[in-house]
């Protein structure tokens, strides 16, 4: 006889939390079958790893969403999520793992459905969501202009996102790592999916990235995953992850402080990798849909892509003219 306990989930989502009693409940709700569309509890599990928090979540606040939600307290003094991510994946049962190194991110309702679809369409997909910041601007700016967790609480309450998660697009701004929109390569994803075997093949998150928040560890692993020879970078259209203000290491500090942190993080990256960080430019492929609330960002993305391609088209035109003149000179 087969019971639900005998069913191995296809997908395991690893969520790293650190002192997120305010933010994590929204994230967890957005991962539940009460909210996610097109999936059942048998399709996936959520592995929540408390990364040495001094104010941990009550375990019952995680497991209340069903037996597919699991909670672990990872006892560590590290300020990086690297070890916690690797620990979470080691506890994962699924063939596909979703990585959320920041548990303060609310998902839109179709993320899990499209991640599973994409993983079945490609042998080695890296399925990615774009990132948004809740509020009128990226939070490095908005939090210096009066945006706060209290303002955000009111904003979320008035948006009715619990009833329609796509309302989140109407109260958010694209994160810096996703500023070029859907159609251009992104530097990182704060909710992306990869086959567990590929995660293991890459050696997991490099634990030498021990800076607060992990430094560039998420960007580093995402780049490695995208640049595997057989990898397909798949962007989910019409879906995203939405960052809550919570005093994060780099997202909720001033732009000046963020620039200083980037220099520190990049220095560590060079020490570890021996080269300067550059994002993967492998072009994306797409899966998804176009909910009405996302259409403004689709238009924005198309405009950004056209603007980025104009200099390239001019360069190609100049190169063709130069080549034509060179050939004509040779024929004389």
Using a 10 angstrom Cβ sphere, with 0-12 exposed, 13-18 middle and 19 or more buried, the burial of residue 294 is buried
Domains and CATH numbers, the chain: 4-331 (3.90.550.10)
pLDDT in tens, 161-218: 999 999 999 999 999 999 999 999 999 999 999 999 999 999 999 999 999 999 999 9
pTM, full prediction: 0.89
pLDDT digits (tens, 9 = 90+) for 21-61: 999 999 999 999 999 999 999 999 999 999 999 999 999 99
Structure tokens at 201: 């093949």
Write the DSSP string, 134-191: ESSS-HHHHTTTT--HHHHHHHHHHHTTTT-GGGGGGGEEE-GGGTT-TTS--S--SS
- Per-residue pLDDT tens over the stretch 138-166: 999 999 999 999 999 999 999 999 999 99
């Amino acid at each position: 006889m087969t019971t639900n306990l005998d069913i191995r989930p296809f997908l395991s989502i690893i969520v790293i939390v650190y002192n997120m009693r305010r933010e994590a409940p929204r994230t967890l709700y957005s991962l539940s079958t009460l909210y996610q569309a097109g999936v059942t509890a048998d399709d996936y599990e959520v592995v929540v790893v408390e990364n040495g928090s001094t104010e941990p979540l009550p375990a019952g606040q995680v497991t209340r969403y069903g037996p597919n939600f699991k909670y672990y307290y990872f006892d560590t003094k590290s300020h990086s999520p690297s070890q916690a991510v690797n620990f979470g994946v080691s506890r994962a049962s699924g063939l596909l793992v979703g990585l959320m190194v920041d548990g303060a991110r609310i998902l839109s309702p179709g993320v899990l459905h499209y991640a599973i679809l994409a993983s079945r369409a490609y042998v080695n997909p890296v399925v990615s969501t774009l990132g948004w910041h809740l509020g009128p601007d990226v939070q490095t700016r908005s939090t210096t202009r009066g945006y706060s967790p209290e303002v955000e609480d009111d904003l979320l309450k008035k948006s009715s996102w619990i009833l329609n998660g796509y309302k989140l697009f109407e109260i958010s701004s694209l994160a810096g790592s996703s500023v070029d929109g859907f159609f251009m390569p992104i530097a990182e994803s704060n909710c992306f999916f990869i086959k567990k075997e590929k995660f293991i093949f890459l050696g997991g998150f490099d634990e030498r990235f021990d800076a607060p928040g992990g430094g560039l560890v998420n960007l580093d692993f995402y780049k490695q995953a995208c640049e595997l020879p057989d990898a397909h970078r798949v962007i989910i259209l019409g879906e995203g992850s939405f960052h809550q203000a919570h005093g994060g290491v780099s997202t909720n500090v001033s732009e000046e402080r963020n620039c200083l942190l980037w220099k520190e993080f990049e220095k560590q990256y060079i020490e570890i990798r021996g080269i300067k960080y550059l994002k993967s430019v492998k072009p994306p492929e797409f899966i998804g849909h176009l909910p009405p609330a996302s259409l403004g960002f689709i238009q924005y993305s198309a405009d950004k892509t056209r603007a980025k391609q104009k200099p390239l088209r001019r360069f190609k035109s100049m190169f063709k003219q130069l080549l034509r003149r060179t050939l004509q000179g040779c024929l004389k």
